[in-house]
Structure 1
């Protein structure tokens, strides 16, 4: 990316070699090309740019390429140079959205039209039209193809993270997301881990069949998503066991286990759950595995008490 960004400095050569623009305009454009190309090359060498910086690079870079092509003294070279817009269109498709792609496509086609109009008097409209079609085709096909691939792969990633029956995260994806939550900043929040185990689930399977059991698990997954905060990370640990982790204010954290237990009991399926939770203050050097063990212990305490109830523990100190 640093090399591609730095290549924008080459637009200065096109401007300085042009005889059909005022010298002041050519020099000013050259200075802008060198500053933008060198600046973004340095930015990429330092690390990833912000989203706003990246979007600005796509649009400013596209404008520089379009302007450089228009100023190129050789009409055919200028027209073929417009195909370079496809690179930034592909970049916008990979990192940004359809709006960013549309801006680059419009810039590429506009520059292509201007350059094709210069080609026609020397080489004929057939050659100009063929060249313009190549410009349009590349500026449309490259970013749209990349966006299609990215969205398809993104959908596969989402599906690979989800438990296919319940729609919540599988165990691997849960740990990945939970690790991200633990490293996020939090102010005046409590970290809560909730373990949920369905009561006497084997009896439900034996009495009504595995299809009924699968329907109950699907309904539980839906109930957990509905009863949890939008920031909650919900996973299925296997069988009839689920886990929820979230960072919430004190009162909300205290209410969450009972709300989850009630949401499951309210389902039309004949199923209830034993719910155990571990709550610690944010920044207490909490280790995920230790919190899960504490919540699991609380859950088994609820199960021994008869099920369809909650138990909450507050680990005094959890070390990494």
Structure 2
């Protein structure tokens, strides 16, 4: 029975580890909010430049390189230059980041197995720990295991070549073992540290009563959001203020007021798109920021208003929203303040009109350079 329970727990832990969500979005927001994004981009540019050095190293091993070698070297150089330029110019999207890691891993694999010297080829395989560490830092378990599979395959091929060329079974086994160990231990340590940090960040960023972000965390994430604009979407900022909340507290008590606030936080999370940033501005005020299609942006404020009115509590809300098209934001902090001010004015107008309604206003100008 004990053995069965132990196996079940092991399977459950492995399942949770396998299903861990990609951490690119929250970690990107954290780095932007802490002012570390620029330094991280420069560091990633330096790491990306290693692909260029790998290509030059391959070319320097033969007087006459084969067409395949030249092709791989050209691809590695082009990828390295492209990654360096991308990281120096801006923060990549999650898809771009994942593809960079996958492509980089495959290029290192090709560079290792194509190297004419089996000793150097086996040593080159240790470079696969770099994309493995990158996946562990920014992405998820599935990406780490993909890189481990690539590293194991490359290590096995190069170790077999070394064994065939020099009949050195000890060196081949030791080299292969080192490659596998590095690509297991290093990513797991990094992933554990980042996940632990992420859990602490989540706990410190959320309002304990409502479950949404506190004011500080909301502004940090909203500011980070504005650093990666899209001309295909609209930016929506929603200000929500509960109607006659003081009367609810005075009539039913503060415990009822706290229950209503907790329910409002739940309703906002359920009714907002998954990418929305939801925060408690203070007291009975809430903020939502999202990037949506024009039709969805027009609909969301009234949807949030109706969701609050439908709660089993005597509470309604006045909802004001500011919506704008956007391509680029020269000053994210000022843009957020401007949009919140517009949404706040719309919210007060909705309250003067009787409350329990939503009013949407278009921002005065587009947020662009």
* Aligned position for 1:20: none
Deviation at 1:119, TM superposition (A): 4.9
Is the aligned partner of 1:101 residue 2:140? no
* Runs of 5+ unmatched residues, structure 1: 18-22
Deviation at 1:237, TM superposition (A): 0.7
Of 41, 62, 68, the residue aligned with 1:16 is: 62
Is the aligned partner of 1:197 residue 2:242? yes
Residues 61-114 of structure 1: CA distance to partner in whole angstroms, max 9, x if unpaired? 222233145x315x4x54344322222322343344444433332232223223
* Aligned position for 1:256: 301
**Aligned residue pair count:** 301
Of 75, 90, 110, the residue aligned with 1:64 is: 110
Q: Would the aligned equivalents of 1:298 and 1:311 in 2 still touch at CA under 8 Å? A: no
Q: Distance in 1 between matches of 2:143 and 2:77?
A: 22
Is the aligned partner of 1:31 residue 2:70? yes
After superposition, the Cα gap between the structure-2 partners of 1:240 and 1:227, relative to the gap in structure 1 and judged at 3 Å, is same
After superposition, the Cα gap between the structure-2 partners of 1:124 and 1:177, relative to the gap in structure 1 and judged at 3 Å, is closer
* Aligned position for 2:268: 224
* Aligned position for 1:116: 159
Secondary structure class of the residue paired with 1:47 = helix
Please give the residue correspondences for 1:1-320 in structure 2 after superposition, counting only pairs within 5 Å: 1-12=47-58, 15-16=61-62, 27-48=66-87, 50-51=96-97, 54-68=100-114, 71-73=116-118, 75=119, 77-119=120-162, 125-178=169-222, 180=225, 183-186=229-232, 191=236, 193-201=238-246, 203-204=248-249, 207-210=252-255, 212-230=256-274, 232-246=276-290, 247=292, 249=294, 253=298, 256-257=301-302, 259-268=303-312, 270-278=313-321, 282=325, 287-301=338-352, 305=354, 309-310=356-357, 312=359, 314=361, 317=364
Q: Distance in 2 between matches of 1:255 and 1:109?
A: 49
Deviation at 1:138, TM superposition (A): 0.8
Secondary structure class of the residue paired with 1:168 = coil
